[in-house]
Amino acid sequence: MTNEQIVLSRIQAESVLEAHRAGEAWATVSLDLGLTTAEAAIESNGIRLPDGQALTWKQLGKIAKSKRGCFVIENNRPRKIQSFSKAANRLYSLMPTTGAPTMLLSGVAMHRIKGIDPHRDTLRKIETITPIVGRVLDTATGLGYTTIEAARTAEQVTTIEIEPAALEVARLNPWSRALFENPNITQIVGDSFDEIETFEEETFARIIHDPPAFALGGDLYSSAFYHQLFRVLQRGGRLFHYIGDLESKSGRTVARGAIRRLREAGFSRVARRPGAFGLVVYK
Ligand SMILES: C[S@@+](CC[C@H](N)C(=O)[O-])C[C@H]1O[C@@H](n2cnc3c(N)ncnc32)[C@H](O)[C@@H]1O
């Protein structure tokens, strides 16, 4: 399956409806959630997309009403991008923003979207450990944004995702395409807690650790896992550990415990990076 399908959210549907209201014959619209634009012909019943598919005004109206959904267009029909994980009993879905979409895990956004968008959120995380060089480990693939950004300069990036459902959503996300196309990226489907034991000592020059919130991903904040992070990171290497808002009560509490356990695991220095909602950890 390719991930070059046409994907629309309310933002694109609204712009087409606007062009229709204005009596235009063509609508300039993005078919990949804002990455590029294309032309769609406005017809009496709806629009004709460049690949020949058609959408009715009713279907476009439905997309325009959906605040939290993105839709892949298949056989002249919009299908909401979502995937249910039986194992985790959670629904993964793609939610639009005015920039890169985020993934919702049972309704909770996996990237920062208040006052910032997922792309800038990603850059802030990555900037804490630049230059990104050598081999990189990303312990939580998600939509692959941190992996994709790291792979721009790294020699190679290994990225681990526990949930096939998350990867199904990523596969339909135009902003995640490089995750499936960049030959410098190696994907592993598995639990980082177990997979990390399979790497040799000092394999990675950089590690990106962007787990779900503490309440959902406890193991990935444990002493045992931090010892493994220390073992696989090269001397002189750096790790970014996402925590959440360090100025919030819960962020402060989680950070305090994480810093203590990271030091116990052997890391020489742990620095707070409030702008990136996380910690930079040095070996
Ligand atoms: C906050 S998101 C990561 C976002 C990612 N850095 C990005 O840029 O899109 C966390 C991801 O970790 C995955 N995850 C949760 N527990 C995991 C585990 N034990 N091992 C690997 N992945 C895990 C979740 O399914 C989710 O997709």
Q: Are residues 122 and 257 in the same domain?
A: yes
Q: What is the pLDDT of residue 277?
A: 97
Domain assignment present for residue 99? The answer is no
Pick from 138, 162, 189 the residue to mutate for probing ligand 1's pocket: most ligand atoms within 8 Å of its CB.
162
| Ligand 1: lining residues by beta carbon, under 6 Å | 110, 122, 140, 142-146, 160-163, 166, 191-193, 210-212, 217, 220
Residue nearest to atom 25 of ligand 1 (CA): 163
Query: What pLDDT shows up at residue 4?
Result: 73
Q: Largest alpha-carbon pair distance within the chain?
A: 68
Domain around 255: 112-282
Ligand 1 centroid – CA 28 distance (Å): 35
- pLDDT tens figures, 29-42: 999 999 999 999 99
Q: Residue written as tokens 């230059």?
A: 131
Tally of CB atoms within 10 A around 12: 26
**Buried (b) or exposed (e) across 80-108, using 16+ Cβ within 10 A?**
ebbbebeeeebebbbbbbebbbbbbbeee
> Do 128 and 262 sit in the same domain of this protein?
yes
d(CA 114, CA 159): 26
Rounded to 5°, angle at Cα 216 from 213 and 217: 80
From 110, 123, 176, the mutation candidate for ligand 1 (largest count of ligand atoms within 8 A of CB) is 110
Q: What is the CATH number of the domain that holds 254?
A: 3.40.50.150
Residues 160, 251, single domain; the answer is yes
Mean residue pLDDT across the chain: 96
Does some domain include residue 36?
yes
Query: CA–CA separation, 118 vs 109, rounded Å?
Result: 10
Rounded Cα gap, residues 280 and 282, in angstroms: 7
Say yes or no: 38 and 151 in one domain.
no
Judge whether 87 lies within some domain.
no
* End-to-end CA separation in angstroms for the chain: 41
* Pair 149, 225 in one domain: yes
Structure token pair of residue 107: 């309704």
What is the number of the ligand 1 atom nearest to the C-alpha of 217? 16
In ligand 1, the atom with minimum distance to the C-alpha of 195 is: 20
Query: Are 16 and 63 contacting, i.e. CB atoms less than 8 angstroms apart?
Result: no
Last residue of a domain, one of 30, 64, 80: 80
Q: Is residue 126 situated within a structural domain?
A: yes
Residues of the chain under the 50 pLDDT cut? 1-2
User: Domain check: are 229 and 177 in the same one?
Assistant: yes
Asked whether residue 134 falls in the same domain as residue 224, the answer is: yes
- 163 in any annotated domain: yes
AA letter at 280 = V
What is the atom index within ligand 1 of the atom nearest the CA of 149? Answer: 8
Number of domains in the chain: 2
CA R_g for the chain:
21
Which residue's CA is the nearest one to ligand 1's atom 17?
162
142 and 218 housed in the same domain: yes
Quote the pLDDT of residue 101. 98
* 170 and 264 housed in the same domain: yes
- Candidates 243, 236, 193, 208; CA nearest to 137 is 208
Whether the model pTM is above 0.75: yes
Give the Å distance between the CA of 214 and the centre of ligand 1. 12
Residue 217, pLDDT score: 67
What does the pLDDT read at residue 2? 44
Q: Are residues 44 and 184 in the same domain?
A: no
Written as six digits, the tokens of 173 are 């996300």
- Does some domain include residue 181? yes
Give the Cα separation of 281 and 265 in Å (integer): 11
For residue 16, being part of any structural domain is answered with yes
Is the distance from CB of 259 to CB of 252 less than 8 angstroms? no
Host H or E run for residue 278: strand 278-282
Phi-psi region of 115 (alpha: psi -120 to 50; beta: other; left: phi over 0): left
Output the CA 221–ligand 1 centroid distance in Å. 13
Question: What type of residue sits at position 253?
Answer: T
CB 27 within 8 A of CB 47: yes
Report the pLDDT value the prediction gives residue 1, as an integer from 0 to 100: 38
pLDDT of residue 245: 96
Residues 48 and 169 in one domain: no
Claim to verify: residue 60 and residue 167 sit in the same structural domain? no
Residue 86 falls within a domain, yes or no?
no
